[in-house]
Amino acid sequence: GGIALAVGALVPDLAAIAADVPFLCHFGRAVTLTDANPYAEIARYLKMHRGKEETVLRTLSYFDGVSFAARGSAPALFSVALMDQVCPPSTVFAAHNAYPGEKEIEVYPFNGHEGGAMFQEAAQLRWVPKTLNRAV
């Protein structure tokens, strides 16, 4: 999902993107929500390098999924799992909210990082033809 957001920002004229449980979004929030890596690694670094938070987060913003999402324009289908410790839900919603293009989001309340798995694949199989037919 995070790579899809980057591609959506950097490649012009895409027909659509599917950003499933996008990784590496809103670092500043993620480091305060989960002890899963890589966020725990960032927190450990900041624990030892007090006063560097602004510099670290500014550097990470160059490849933060929210920054890429803000540049997207192709229709996008996001997914989020509300029990995901790897990609905390609020970080996914931050990317979704920053996305200026046409967008939808599938929410899986009781799933972790696997997201919707086969249910999300089925949602994509319904969404892609509908989205591409509108583009024609």
Domain CATH for 116: 3.40.50.1820
Per-residue pLDDT at 53: 96
Which residues span the domain enclosing 82? 2-135
**Strand pairing report for 76-81 and 103-108:** parallel
Among the residues of 11-117, which ranges form H helices? 27-33, 39-48, 53-60, 65-69, 89-98
In the block, which residue shows the tokens 């997201």?
A: 115
Partners of 107 in beta bridges:
80
Query: If you average pLDDT over residues 29-54, what whole number do you get?
Result: 95
Number of domains present in the structure of the chain: 1
State the helix-helix crossing angle for 39-48 and 53-60, rounded to 10 degrees: 150
pTM for this structure? 0.94
In the block, which residue shows the tokens 């899986």?
A: 108
Q: Please write the tens of the pLDDT for every residue from 70-128.
A: 999 999 999 999 999 999 999 999 999 999 999 999 999 999 999 999 999 999 999 99
CA atoms of 24 and 3, how far apart (whole Å): 9
